[in-house]
Amino acid sequence: MSDASPPDAMEVRALYGTATPPPAIRRIEKGRLRFDLVDGNLRSICVDGTEVLRAIQYLLRDRDWGTVPPLIRDLRIDPDRDEIRIAYSADCIDPDGGRLAYAARIMVRDDSIDFTVEARAIDDLRINRLGFCVLHPAALAGHPLRIAHGDGSATTAVFPALIAPWQPFTDIRTLVHQQDGLTVSCRVEGDTYEMEDQRNWSDASYKTYARPLALPWPYAIAAGTTCRHAVRVDVTGAQRRPLATAAPIRITIGPPIGTMPRIGLVITPDTADSSVTSRDALCDLGVQDLLLSYNASAGDGAAEMKGLARAVSGLPHRLTLECVIAATGDLDAELSAVADQAKRAGLQLDAVAVYPAPDLQSTPPGSPWPACPPPADIQAAARRAFPGLRIGGGAFGYFTELNRKRPPLQGLDFVSHATCPIVHAADDLSVMQSLAAIAPILRSARAFLGETAYRLGPVTIGMRQNPYGARTMPNPARERVPMAMVDPRQDGQFAAAWTIGYAAATEAGGIELLTFGTLTGPLGLIGRHGRRPLFAAIAALAGCAGRMRFACVSSHPDTIQAVATASAVIVANLTAEARMVVVDGRRVALAPFAVATMRMDRDLPPTR
């Protein structure tokens, strides 16, 4: 067993935007098994160095799907020759003041893990989930899988390659998968379990969780109720994959693969005035597009439209109006009113993306779809209201919503959706690991979008809107909180590295536009103390827009990522450790979460 040291205290705020360091990690090793114990849960479960499970987590989710953090006490770790015994107690208090207490026991042997929790409700609770979530890494896409069900039947399948919009497997008792010569069995008890493809939300995992989503939620647990949940993992076989060596980290530049996407930012009515006062910064940034966010269904009207027009007056950027309408009455009347306000405000738009308000909230499996006009009718009304403009649609929220409600493409000039990496977890590792889900999202979208123009964004760490609850989560203490709009890492070097990693992950997506957050505000590039590190990262990407893009292959993709054009390579360190990287034969030293731009003079290969 070993403890991983956090970054130096002087670096914490510069790296993460907060004085709160990452949580303490306890490394547990027994035989060929290894995992990290973090906040009472198991992360990065490896066998002979191969990650076989991403996490085993015991979670309480409140009625808005917020994760209730446990207060852990009496942690004991007792190793002996045959096993390591871990035990602790924990207390949770939900936002309504409801209390839950539980006791956890973890038994670790050379080839197995037993994780058992017994919980008791102290007060009456109304919650959305209580129990284990087991995460299989997204790298298992296409690997063989056998599912034993609660009714005694079994299914042979594979982990989905394209992202499954709905639960690929239900009524799960045991999952057995094959990986690099290993057979890994995971048995779950204490409730009915099902799996969802978390890549929908840009989590790089497949999640098996307790209580089917088709059942009503939130649901009540009476004070005094006790429940027991358990997970058992068994590993057999011998690993066939050779162990990694300590070779240098390399970025290899490959052939041309298209052009870099245009880069955009969002302007909202709330940030319009500050965007005017920060116009010099916007010009320095060099982005090509501005997405003007306007929610008629929430009361935005002439004043908000005029504010957006003032913010962009005289600017050369391509302008898209992102418009949410109530979609409860005459669509022509609703959209004509928006078009009239835009005209009166003097907005010279290039495109309009229209989203009906009923679709802003997610429709979980088994739930009825809310009343909403057909997408084709909305698209047609938008064309009548905005003749001559490009018309877009898709999802105001995330790929989940687009994947589950795919629009007809005949009436659209482009399709768009946002992403947010902190829907389910907000720790630093999970956020960086989310980058591995971006390429599968793009591949899955392309499978049903075909050649339709594809715009991605807004892309932010913080959550701009919560499709799964009534609000984004408050974060006055600036902690790492799932589903929060205010994320402290927006102020730190972390966000800059994550942003370059995100751009690198779009390599094969053929996207037209990559839109990030706002210029100012909680999702902005400028904070209370001036330009955030993220500003320089997005400026570097904006400088590459429209240029020939070259393939980049990282020997350690979880550690270093890069974006390359003929004249520059932007390299990002995705870790909290200093790294030495060889980029196209040149060595570069990168501090934790550092971003570096290397000037290149690359000749384009002759066309054949």
pLDDT score of 363 more than 70: yes
The second-level CATH assignment, the architecture, of 2-237 is: Distorted Sandwich (2.70)
* CATH 2.70.98.10 domain position(s) in the chain: 2-237
Q: What is the pLDDT of residues 122-135, one digit of tens each?
A: 999 999 999 999 99
* CATH 3.20.20.80 domain position(s) in the chain: 261-545
Q: What is the pLDDT of residues 4-49, one digit of tens each?
A: 455 567 789 999 999 999 988 999 999 999 999 999 999 999 999 9
What lies within 8 Å, CB to CB, of 155 at 6+ separation is 146, 147, 149, 169
Give residue 75's identity as a one-letter amino acid code: L
Beta strands 568-573 and 595-599, pairing class? antiparallel
Check residue 606 and give its pLDDT: 37
Check residue 7 and give its pLDDT: 56
Check residue 247 and give its pLDDT: 75
Which CATH number is associated with domain 261-545?
A: 3.20.20.80
Rounded Cα gap, residues 297 and 456, in angstroms? 23
Rounded Cα gap, residues 325 and 587, in angstroms? 52
Q: Could you give the C-alpha distances from 139 to 53, 205, 213, 270, in angstroms and in order?
A: 10, 8, 25, 40
Check residue 558 and give its pLDDT: 96
Q: What is the pLDDT of residues 74-100, one digit of tens each?
A: 999 999 989 999 999 999 999 999 999
* pLDDT cut 70: percent of the chain above it: 96
Q: Could you give the C-alpha distances from 409 to 188, 337, 354, 360, 512, in angstroms and in order?
A: 41, 25, 14, 20, 16
Check residue 584 and give its pLDDT: 84
Rounded Cα gap, residues 517 and 264, in angstroms? 8
- Chain centroid, CA 538 distance in Å: 18
How much is the pTM? 0.94
Check residue 246 and give its pLDDT: 63
Query: What is the DSSP-derived secondary structure letter of residue 62?
Result: E
Check residue 245 and give its pLDDT: 59
pLDDT score of 226 more than 50: yes
Half-sphere exposure of 351 (CA within 13 A, CB side): 21
Check residue 239 and give its pLDDT: 81
Rounded Cα gap, residues 212 and 193, in angstroms? 6
Q: What is the pLDDT of residues 403-462, one digit of tens each?
A: 999 999 999 999 999 999 999 999 999 999 999 999 999 999 999 999 999 999 999 999
Rounded Cα gap, residues 271 and 265, in angstroms? 12
Q: Could you give the C-alpha distances from 322 to 16, 123, 175, 282, in angstroms and in order?
A: 31, 44, 43, 20
Summarize the confidence of residues 105-124 as an average pLDDT: 98
pLDDT score of 603 more than 90: no
Length of the chain: 608
